[in-house]
Amino acid sequence: MSSQIEIIRAVAHDAIEIADILVEAFTVFKEHYTTAAFDAVTPSAELIVERLDEGPIWVAVSGGDAILGTVSIVAEPEWLYIRSMAVRPIAQGLGVGAKLLDAVEVYGVENGFDRLFLYTTYFSAGAVEFYEKCGFKRGRDTTADEWFGTPGLAMDKRIGKDVKKNAVGS
């Protein structure tokens, strides 16, 4: 199925399904988040539409069917910040996350960025290991004060023509 997965730019009519994916992916961890942090990782469809003006959002689809995953970015002065990423539980292990990150990296290189940055949490099963497999390096632990009352881990990845690409299995 991984080879059938297509990554496309999201449009406004995708916002409801993107919001649903984020809720589906993060609700399992809700007890670990503060209310503000959970609200940040599960924005409303209306907020997702607004975010389309702030930076690209991509979705992963298979055969033109339902959206399997999503990633949202915003350009910061120092890096391209991965604001959110989620894959439906039924699609995990199919290469969806890696394909979404590949789209972010291509966009970053094409737009002159040399670094991708994200925050993740230790309680998201396998998230740290997944990002490391995709070439991200552990930065530093983040405090609850830095991200809506929920501590986590800052990670980044160097990108561009002078950086060897890490092969990611599908």
Of the listed ranges 101-105, 157-161, 163-167, the one predicted with least confidence: 163-167
CA angle 154, 116, 79 (to 5 degrees): 95
Sorted by sequence, the CB contacts under 8 Å of residue 97 that are 6+ apart come out as 69, 85, 87, 130, 134
| DSSP state at residue 113 | -
Mean pLDDT of 15-36: 93
Residue 63 CA from chain centroid, whole number: 21
Query: Which of 54, 55, 72, 59 is CA-nearest to residue 13?
Result: 59
pTM for this one? 0.88
Mean pLDDT of 57-61: 96
| DSSP state at residue 106 | H
Of the listed ranges 36-50, 97-111, 114-128, the one predicted with least confidence: 114-128
Is residue 103 over pLDDT 70? Answer: yes
Is residue 131 over pLDDT 50? Answer: yes
Q: Left (φ > 0), alpha (ψ -120 to 50) or beta: where does 95 sit?
A: left
Is residue 56 over pLDDT 70? Answer: yes
Is residue 64 over pLDDT 70? Answer: no
